[in-house]
Amino acid sequence: MFVLGLQGSPRTKGNTNMLLSTFLDEAERLGAHTHDVNVARLQISPCEECGTCEEEGFCPIDDDMQQIYSLLRQADIIVMATPVFFYGPTAQMKALIDRSQALWARKYVHKLSDPGQKWRRGFLLSLGATKGKNLFEGITLTAKYFFDAVGASFDGSLTYRQIEGPGEIAKHPTAFTDAKEKARTLVTPFLKRKKVLFVCTENACRSQMASAFARYHAGNRIEAESGGSAPAQEINPLMEEVMEEKGIDMAFRKPKSIEEATRFLIPELIISMGCREACPFFPDVQNEEWNLADPAGKPIDFMREIREQVEERVRRLTAREDGLTRLTGKAYQVGTSRAGS
């Protein structure tokens, strides 16, 4: 599972950084894969309100935000961490938030569902120098709408007043223990999911669709990854198109090799799409063969037919009892803030 931390303070050794690092270190210790983005060190231009994202679904500004879109899409948990600057997030963090308008447009204008959006959680860490009652109101509202745009349900916040000089957060009596406890509460249910790897040759069509459907229908019970023995450069545009017909958004996905796909996921079940020889060998791991025809280079109707077959197989996989039973005891439900813990 993947936890993405967005660190918005320009002070690299400041309070926000210390608080976020404590959260991420605990998540990593529990078994999550984490990635800490130092937002102030990136080149992220402010939104120019050009309207391209509403028309075409992507942002034309070619800067570091392009890599953030894909990280946001991969994340199971997003932690937005920022100090209070004039009752809002820092300008660097705000630029990132405004540029997430491209994801807002894909969701609300283009009516596409990111496969992870039902299960992804968003959490806010913030602090400021003063003790005003309303200190975190602006940031909390901004965080809620940011998380909604990027397909994450808001899971609350930890906020600290009267923290000013660099490192002062370390003197707070509970801040670090709070952050560790919250990391445990959020991460643990995700770690209990069954780890499934979908494999084909190019990781451009079938295994991409299978992992997206698995995440979409059962991302609370399955941690899905996909990879190919000879990955293509890009995912197949016809595959993207037929998934969009179903309302599922495949944007920001890239084919991966099997090595990349298993860097942070040790599979418990490997499902081959129809090219068993491409399958990696993992000792003691359940293997399955779905025997689906390769739609690459075939007409769009054939791609649609394979999409239907893949979804049906994924539905059967998620409905059946065997390989997934150990996860069904306490399903992780969206909408309950401490579900599954």
Give residues in contact with ligand FMN (CB under 6 A).
9, 11, 14-16, 83-87, 127-130, 135, 163-164, 166
Nearer to ligand FMN, 131 or 316 (CB): 131
In angstroms, what is the minimal distance from the CB of 48 to ligand FMN?
Answer: 24
Number of Cβ within 10 Å of residue 335's Cβ equals 7
What is the C-alpha separation between 7 and 92, in angstroms, rounded? Answer: 10
- Close Cβ partners of 105 (under 8 Å, ≥ 6 residues apart): 53, 54, 57
Contact 2, 74 (CB under 8 A): yes
Please say whether the beta carbons of 76 and 340 come within 8 A: no
Residues 6+ apart with CB under 8 A from 23: 5, 79, 81, 125, 179, 180, 182, 183
Do 265 and 292 form a contact (C-beta atoms < 8 A)? no
The DSSP element (H or E) to which 303 belongs, if any, is helix 300-319
Nearest to 183, CA basis, from 172, 191, 173: 191
Task: Give the CA count within 13 Å in the CB-facing half-sphere of 40.
Answer: 16
Question: Whole-angstrom Cα distance, residue 193 to residue 185?
Answer: 15
C-alpha distance across the termini of the chain, in Å: 16
How does DSSP classify residue 174? Answer: S
Residue with nearest beta carbon to ligand FMN: 14
CB of 138 to ligand FMN, least distance (A): 9
Minimum Å gap between C-beta 124 and ligand FMN is 14
Q: Provide, rounded to whole angstroms, the least separation between the CB of residue 40 and ligand FMN.
A: 9
Instruction: Output the smallest distance, CB 211 to ligand FMN, in A.
Output: 37
Minimum distance from residue 171 beta carbon to ligand FMN (Å): 12
Backbone CA torsion sign across 169, 172, 177, 178: negative
From the list 180, 171, 214, the residue with the least C-alpha distance to 195 is 214
Q: In angstroms, what is the minimal distance from the CB of 6 to ligand FMN?
A: 13
